[in-house]
């Protein structure tokens, strides 16, 4: 898969992180409508971390799914040392190098990427799903398992019905949705990443839910894959692919 080179990652202070986020924020497009009927495949993306010899190591898994059959088309991953420090609000800078390396290995060109994380629902509207979109040049969606509280704003719990949601509105702007994907299970937090509107993001996410998880199938599969890969690399103590 072809990747756009948007910026380097030799940044190590908050001012540089913020300047890049503000520059990219002005280029976010959340107006594109995408129907389920137009999708052929989609990719789930997740990352996992561990410590090895005093250094942080991560693995990124991407699982591409046929939207109609729900069969796996392709699985790729990347693994390596984490060179960007963790700074709250700037997690994407830490995760993107592995995301980019994994995406380069794809032979399938996904129609949309679903991330285990936030998109527009972020302090600066630049969660990992949004930030990654500029490199991938594809529509992206964020599906977070926990709520990122912004400007002291809490979300309203949706009704306990499949598909029920409440919009997360901060300073009069809709950042995302608290979404009930399964009855009797905690909601997830949906937001557009980029190049897609919120309603399309909602419809796509709901079309990819089954009875096994509150997460869309490709995100759940990527999550399972990262845990298996982390265990493998921890046991083998090597980073070679």
All structural domains of the chain: 14-236 (3.30.2170.10)
pLDDT score recorded for residue 238: 63
- Condensed to tens digits (0 to 9), the pLDDT of residues 189-207 reads 999 999 999 999 999 999 9
pLDDT band at 239 (very low <50, low <70, confident <90, very high): low
Portion of the chain with pLDDT greater than 90, in percent: 87
pTM: 0.95
Is a pLDDT exceeding 70 seen at residue 188?
A: yes
pLDDT of 122 reads 98
Which one is predicted more confidently, 179 or 54? Answer: 179
User: CA 40, 66, 62, 206 torsion: positive or negative?
Assistant: positive
Confirm whether residue 15 is marked as ligand binding. Answer: no
Region 67-86 average pLDDT? 93
Q: Give the CA distances from residue 198 to residues 78, 186, 202, in Å, rounded to whole numbers and listed in that order.
A: 29, 20, 6
Say whether 235 sits in a helix, a strand or coil.
Answer: helix
Q: Inform me whether the pLDDT recorded for 79 exceeds 90.
A: yes
**Mean pLDDT within 214-228:** 97
Question: DSSP 3-state assignment of 59?
Answer: strand
In whole angstroms, give the CA distance from residue 59 to residue 80. Answer: 7
pLDDT at res. 84: 84
pLDDT in tens, 90-100: 999 999 999 99
Confidence of residue 9 (pLDDT cuts 50, 70, 90): confident
Residue 221 has pLDDT above 70, yes or no: yes
Q: Does the pLDDT at position 240 exceed 70?
A: no
Give mean pLDDT, residues 127-149.
Answer: 98
Q: What is the pLDDT of residue 52?
A: 87
The predicted structure's pLDDT at residue 36 = 83
Nearest CA to 3 out of 125, 86, 101, 108 is that of 101
Is 111 marked within a binding site?
Answer: no
DSSP conformational letter for 127? -
**Phi, then psi, of 112 in degrees rounded to 5:** -155, 150
pLDDT, tens digit, 9 for 90 and up, residues 42-76: 999 999 999 988 889 999 999 999 999 999 999 99
**CB atoms inside a 10 Å sphere around CB 107:** 9
- Checking if the pLDDT of 241 tops 70, the result is no
What is the pLDDT averaged over residues 113-125? 98
Note the pLDDT of residue 175. 98
């Amino acid at each position: 898969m072809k990747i756009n080179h948007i910026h380097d990652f030799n940044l190590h202070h908050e001012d540089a992180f913020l300047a890049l986020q503000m520059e990219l924020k002005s280029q976010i497009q959340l107006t594109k409508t995408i129907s389920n009927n137009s999708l052929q495949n989609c990719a789930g993306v997740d990352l996992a971390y561990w410590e090895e010899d005093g250094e942080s190591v991560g693995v990124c898994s991407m699982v591409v799914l046929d939207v109609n059959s729900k069969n796996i088309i392709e699985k790729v991953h990347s693994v390596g040392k984490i060179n960007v420090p963790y700074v709250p609000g700037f997690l994407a800078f830490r995760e993107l190098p592995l995301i980019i390396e994994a995406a380069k290995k794809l032979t399938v060109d996904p129609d949309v990427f679903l991330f285990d994380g936030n998109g527009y629902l972020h302090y600066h509207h630049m969660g990992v799903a949004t930030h990654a979109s500029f490199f991938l040049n594809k529509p992206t969606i964020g599906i977070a398992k926990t709520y990122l509280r912004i400007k002291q704003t809490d979300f309203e719990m949706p009704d306990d019905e499949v598909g029920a949601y409440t919009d997360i509105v901060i300073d009069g702007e809709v950042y995302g949705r608290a979404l009930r994907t399964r009855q009797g299970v905690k909601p997830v937090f949906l937001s557009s990443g980029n190049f897609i509107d919120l309603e399309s993001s909602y419809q796509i996410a709901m079309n990819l839910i089954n009875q096994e998880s509150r997460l869309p199938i490709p995100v759940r599969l990527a999550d399972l894959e990262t845990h298996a890969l982390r265990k493998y690399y921890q046991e083998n103590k090597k980073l070679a692919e």
